[in-house]
Every structure is written in C-alpha cells, then in structure tokens.
Structure 1
Amino acid sequence: MTEASAASATPVGPLDGLLVADFSRVLAGPFATQILGDFGADVIKVEAPIGDETRGWRPPERDGVSTYYLGINRNKRDLILDFRDEDDRALAQELARRADVVIENFKPGGLEKFGLDYESVAKENPAVVYASITGFGGAGGAGLPGYDLIVQAMSGLMSLTGDKDGPAYRSGVSVFDIMSGLQSVIGILSALRHRDRTGEGQRVEVNLLSTALAGMANHSSTYVAGDTVPFRMGNAHPSLFPYEPLPASDGEIIVVAANDRQFAALAEALGIPEVLDDERFQTTDGRNVHRDALRPILVEALSTATIAEWFDRLTAAGIACGPIQTIDGGVQLAERLGLEPVVTVGEGDRAVPMIRNAITFSKTKPQYRLPPPTLGEHADELRAWLATRAEQETTA
C-alpha cells in the first residue's frame, strides 16, 4: 500500500494499494477513475487552479455544486497544481513517478511540454500503466475536438437516431464518453494484470471514435461485413419485430418478441392465436419483412387495455415488455427490485446521494469512502506527502 493510501485508512477493496494520478477532467476520465476509486484505488484528482469545468456546469446543482461534477467524482482526493509553475510541475512529475496508474485526456501531445507525457513518465516509472483518452486518436486526430456530441455526429450514431423522415438526433446521454471511460477501465485492469506477470508497465490508449465504432456493434458490422449503410428507423429494430413501442389504450409500451417461441406466447397473451397460422408471421425473418402487415394486428389487440394492465399480463406470461419511464421511474424500479441504486456518500452537510457502482462482488465490495472533493480539498496533505517523498529521494 502506498503511504498516501495508508494514511487515509480506507477499507480494503479489490484495487486497494493502487495509486492513481488522475490528470483528466469532464466525463470519460473522471468516470473511469471513480470506478477505480470505488474498487479501492487511492485516486488523486489533479485540477488546474480554475478547476474541472464541470464544477460550473449548472443547473442542475446541489448546494451550489453541479450535479454533473458530483455524479462522477467520489472516492478521490483533490490537489490543485498549475503545470506552468515550476514547483507545481515538479510535484505533478513526482506524483506520476510514484503512481501505479496515470490517466489523462489532454489533446495528443499536450503534456509533453510539462514532462508528463507517457515517454517522460515511463522513463522514471517504467512500471506505470499510463492511460490516454482522446477524441480521435493520436497524431491523425490531434486537430479534431474530442467532444461526445461531435463523435456522435461523425461516427454515424446520429444518423441512426430519430424518425426515418425526420432530423438526426444526438443520444440523450453522452454515450461515447461513458463507454470510453469503461473501455479505459478495462484497458487499465488488463495492463495491470500484464504488469503482475511481467513487471512491465505500458500505455493504454482509448479514443471516442474507435469506442463508438466498436460500441455500435451490429450497426458497424452491417456496413463492414454486409456492405450496407444502416439508416434511422425511429424506435424500430432493423432485424426484429416486434421490438419497439406499441400503443396501448393510454400510451405506448415496449413489446419484445425476439424469437418464434416468444412471439407465440405474445400472440396467445394478446388473444390473437390465429396470427400463428399466417405463414408471413411464423418466423423471425417473416415478421421482420411483413411488419407493416403485423403491426396493425398487434396495435388493435393492445388497444383494449392500459399500459399497466398489459405490463402485468404480458409479464405474467413471460413476455418482455415495459413502460417508457423518466429517470425517477427507473430509480424507483431499481429500488422496488431491491437493487439499492442510491448510496449516500459523506456525512453531515457533505452527504451526497449518488448512484452506486453497477458491479457487485461476493467478497471485495465497492466502497464509498469520500464524497466528491471541493477544489483543492486535500492540497495540504498531498503537497506535504509529495514534497517529503521528493526530498527523501533527493537525499537518499
């Protein structure tokens, strides 16, 4: 265990003993380091004097602090460093030299002038796992802005989102930032496993465009393997029907029948078993091709009852379905299912309700030790620790 993490007397997690130098900001990087912190890593969030810009992205807010920032920055200690200042730059270099993991999302080459790029850090710390997150990769994408919205547009995702004859839409979530954060965690843990075996560190690189193309798995494959460009279909699925919202008497309900057995059960539950005798609807391919003929039959049947009634009936029949809810409904559903989605981090006036980590372990459970830090909250202890270590190394 590092001296820094030992001093904080944190509970043991699966990554206990790992020191993470977090030079990232906004979403992808902080989301990744929050996960590492949940699993026990000692994460030191390094901010410029003006702070992570998401601190000011409000409304919405809680006690004057952006809920955007609060949602992705627990389990971190905070240090303000100005890389343009010689003394602060030396402390940043010392932190990187001692870290097991360094993560950053500067523009490609942006840290070279500060001696904090991979080559400089690895020279002093060859066992480091150094993760870089960019929008479009290294040198070739250096001039392109790495915003999730831009990548949604340029990757093709927006062309798939929206009604067939309407405008393209962004996803309601910064989906590729979040996915890139997850990819970074996967890469970091894989590189740490390699280091466990060999003692060698390495660089891990993730970019939003590659994440987007990999994440649009079946749609990307439609083009590269099928030589067909996918197009937006509203809420419809290109290969399955029904797999979309359909109107009940008081609104829409999602109905899914992804194979022949499921469709047979749906037909029985809707009281239209005769459709099973129609050759057009007897196979997945047939239902997909003839969806325009099948949809009115399903809609007529569903019009006889409400969303709530159909949810109860179809669920009882083992058919996948669900109402379209807002976020509060999603959280409340998780609560009813016993998933305990909300955890309070911190105490007193620092207590913050947060969505808990999505992963559970039978033994090494995620920990919620520290609320999202105020800007420079742990500066004194961390500066003293880094300066002491640097002084010890100089006099040794």
Structure 2
Amino acid sequence: MLDNIEADFPEYTPRPSDAPRALAGIRVVDFSHFIAGPFATMILADMGAEVIKIEAPGRGDDLRRYPPVHPELKAGAPFVWTNRNKRSVALDLKSPDGVAVVRELIATADVVVENFSSGVMERFGLDYGACRTIKPDIIYCSVSAYGREGTFADRLGFDPIAQVESGFVSMNGYPDREGVRALSPVMDISTAMMACNAILGALVARERSGLGQAVEVSLFDNAVLMTGYATMQHLFTGANPQRHGNTSPDTCPSGVFQAQDCAFYINCGNDKIFQRLMSQVLERADLAAAEAYATGPDRIRRREELFAILGEVFAQRPWSHWQARMRAAGVPCGQVRTVGDAIRSAEARERGLVTRIPHDTLGWIPNVSLPIRYSATPVVDPVAAPAVGQHIGAVLKDLLGYDDARLARLAAAGVFGEVGAGPARAGRT
C-alpha cells in the first residue's frame, strides 16, 4: 500500500513563506462527518481558515473506516482525501462537560458547520439559536439531506439516494437498461462546494453588516441542480431526458471512438468545430460543406451514418496521430483513461494535481490538490488528515487556556474518551 508513491509522484512544492492566506484569522468549528460537510471545511482550511474538527472519542468520523484503510494510519483513503489541514478534537457531546468545552470553542469561532440528522444539534444544545447566544455574529452552516424544516426533515440522505431521487440517474447510462449512478460522490462534492460558497458569501456579508446568519445547503436541492440544464429543457418541452450512453442528445458528432490503439472522446459542440473536424482532421471538405450535415439537428438525425464514417477512419491510425491533428484543428478531444492513468498523465503532472507530502508515521502520503489557483493568496501547504483527537491538548491549551490539571480532570471524567485517558495523552499536538 502506497509502495510506489516516491517514484510516481513529486514532492509538494511549498507556497512562498511570506504569502498571505485568503482566510487567515477565520476559525471554523466543524461537527461534520462523511463527505459533504468535511469537504466543504477542507476547502476553507486550504484557503487558510483554522478548522477544528470535533469528533466522537475513539471512533471518530465514520468515514475513517471507508476502505482501503491503511493499517498504520487507522484511516481510509476517503477520510485522508477530505480532511487535510484540520485539527481534531475528540469530545463526548453526550457529556455536559464535553458540550461546555465545545461552547467555549464556539465563542472563539467565526463559523460552525454541521451535517448531523435533523434534531441532533438541538439535543446537544448547539443549534443556531443556542450558538447565536454564545457568539452573536456566528455563521452557522447546516448541510442537510432534505432541509431542516418541513415534512422530510427527518429523512437521512446519502449521495446515491440523492442521485436517484433527483432524476440524475435516469439521465445516465444506455437506453436499453436501467440508468446508472455516478460512482464518484458527485452530489456530496458539489454540495460541499455550494456550502463553501455559501459560507464565503456569509463571511463577506458579515464583513459589511457585522451580522452573522444561518446558512443551509440541502443535498437533495443541490442534486436537482446537478441535473443541469436538463431540468429547464424538461420545463420547456415536457419531455424527460433520455439516456444516450456516451453520445450527446444536443450535439453531433460527440462521443467515444476507437483509434488503432485506444478509445477517445470528441465533442463537436457547434457547426464550426464539425467543419474543422471534417476538413482539417479527416481531410473531407466535401462532408464539411455537405448540406445534409450543415446544422446540429441535421447531424443528430444522421448520427448513425456519421459515426460509421468516423469510426472507420479513426480505427486506421493511432491516438497520437489523431490527437495531434485535432489539437491543431481546435477540435475538443481526450483519451479515455482510468483514474490511475489520469493522475499520472502529463496534464496532471504539469498542474501538480497529485503530489506527496510528509507524514510522521508513513514518511510520505499522497495529496490531491484543489483546482484553485490564487496569485496573491495561494492555498496553504497541505498537512495530512489528523488522527482522532490528535490536537486536544494543543487546541484547548492554546485557544482556551486550559492547564494540565484541567485537562487531566476532563480526561478522568471521560470527556476525551480513550484518546484522552490521561493528561499526557490529552496534551498531544
């Protein structure tokens, strides 16, 4: 596991030491777990916010056990992927002392993020109303499944459920079989992005008005948005989107073709691209000028014959030949890759998308960067996801001024669980 990391990926290049951070001075108390909430707070952390992840003692975030779990990390790849640049504090929120500690942390914070089931934060006494009494200008972000109020507030939500209920799955796959879900948690990731955007907007609003507010992003609401313009197309026509496999219902020819050595995708999004494909790539000026293929709707009606022409020609040459010609002609195209191929590709290497960063236990650990590039406030240097409760001592000492005696009393009371079994353990940084 991770045997070839040094050979496969370069070491991360640190940011300039004197560069400011976009969210310097912003503190986030993060109660979220799984993906949608933690990915949102990781984006904030990468931008320079201080994110304090509140976890259950011992067990921590359930995402820690999603495979593959590294035996030395005691955490799985999905958790590592979504929790860098955070500090972990493990507290028993069923304990009054644990809630009291959290309330002190919230008093120092700018943002609270939670994605528990509806009613959980109220039972802890940590809902927006309660947190607002602690910190009047707090920004309180809830990532819910179907909203915090209304008929469906009690429903649990996970990415695949949002995919099927939003209509997203009905659009994807081939027409002769059931629709298919995206294996990537696209709804969780996009919900996280929406939550991060909402928090950033609330921070800007607070800067102007001095007022905090409650912010909510629903997984289902976001999933409906993720069906894209198909929703508006349906409203215009009354028709539901049909599954088209790898072809496009809106443009032609767009789809997967087979070169001599591999598969690739082309996307002829308009008439000019089609004409360049035919005249410059295939050297078929006659087809470029043919009235039968003049417009997108014309080509869609003749998709099968066009695909047959292209398929026969493309199969005669390797991908390197076609890629060079299409790039020169300005025809959007790309090789069909595996995930492993993609992260080791020349494009990914040039962009520094996957690197390796130091890790105290493993030596190195892989890191997948955000697609954000700031010229003046570059994202922070990545620090690997924390162990459960790794930063109890550092956070409570530095932020709240707790001394060793107080930490020991809380540990003895079980507030830190097994992680905080004694003052020395509680003092880990």
Q: State the shift of 1:185 in Å.
A: 0.6
Distance 1:336-1:98 versus aligned 2 partners, 3 A rule: closer
Read off the aligned partner of 1:30 and give its amino acid letter. Answer: P
* CA distance in 2: counterparts of 1:43 and 1:221, whole angstroms: 38
Greater Cα offset, 234-243 or 90-99:
90-99
Q: Answer yes or no: is the 8 Å Cα contact 2:48–2:379 preserved in 1.
A: yes
Q: Answer yes or no: is the 8 Å Cα contact 1:253–1:321 preserved in 2.
A: yes
Q: How does 1:240-319 map to 2 (within 5 A)?
A: 240-268=251-279, 269-319=281-331
Secondary structure (helix, strand or coil) at the match of 1:338 reads helix
The residue aligned with 2:224 is 213
Q: 1:84 aligns with which of 78, 94, 119?
A: 94
Read off the aligned partner of 1:35 and give its amino acid letter. Answer: I
* CA distance in 1: counterparts of 2:360 and 2:97, whole angstroms: 35
Q: How does 1:81-230 map to 2 (within 5 A)?
A: 81-139=91-149, 140-230=151-241
Read off the aligned partner of 2:39 and give its amino acid letter. Answer: F
* CA distance in 2: counterparts of 1:323 and 1:10, whole angstroms: 40
TM-score (norm 2): 0.84
Q: Answer yes or no: is the 8 Å Cα contact 1:137–1:207 preserved in 2.
A: yes
Unaligned runs of 5+ in 2: 1-16, 407-429
Is structure 2 residue 232 aligned with structure 1 residue 232?
no
Q: How does 1:247-396 map to 2 (within 5 A)?
A: 247-268=258-279, 269-333=281-345, 338-349=350-361, 351-385=364-398, 387-388=400-401
Q: State the shift of 1:384 in Å.
A: 3.2
Read off the aligned partner of 2:377 and give its amino acid letter. Answer: T
Q: 2:25 aligns with which of 13, 17, 30?
A: 17
Unaligned runs of 5+ in 1: 1-8, 392-396
RMSD: 2.1
Q: State the shift of 1:179 in Å.
A: 0.2
Q: State the shift of 1:379 in Å.
A: 0.8
Distance 1:225-1:92 versus aligned 2 partners, 3 A rule: farther
Distance 1:277-1:169 versus aligned 2 partners, 3 A rule: same
Deviation digits for residues 364-392 of structure 1 (CA, Å, limit 9, x no counterpart): 1001253211111001122334553899x
Query: Percent of pairs identical after alignment?
Result: 32
Is structure 2 residue 66 aligned with structure 1 residue 54?
no
* CA distance in 2: counterparts of 1:381 and 1:343, whole angstroms: 28
The residue aligned with 1:42 is 50
Distance 1:242-1:99 versus aligned 2 partners, 3 A rule: same
* CA distance in 2: counterparts of 1:204 and 1:272, whole angstroms: 56
TM-score (norm 1): 0.91
The residue aligned with 2:81 is 71
Q: Answer yes or no: is the 8 Å Cα contact 2:19–2:377 preserved in 1.
A: no
* CA distance in 1: counterparts of 2:308 and 2:71, whole angstroms: 47
* CA distance in 1: counterparts of 2:66 and 2:344, whole angstroms: 26
Q: Answer yes or no: is the 8 Å Cα contact 2:19–2:376 preserved in 1.
A: no
Moved over 4 A (4+): 334-337
Q: State the shift of 1:216 in Å.
A: 1.8
Distance 1:10-1:353 versus aligned 2 partners, 3 A rule: farther
Greater Cα offset, 38-47 or 363-372:
363-372
Larger relative CO (CA 8 A, sep 6+): 1 or 2?
2
Q: Answer yes or no: is the 8 Å Cα contact 1:334–1:341 preserved in 2.
A: no
Read off the aligned partner of 2:119 and give its amino acid letter. Answer: G
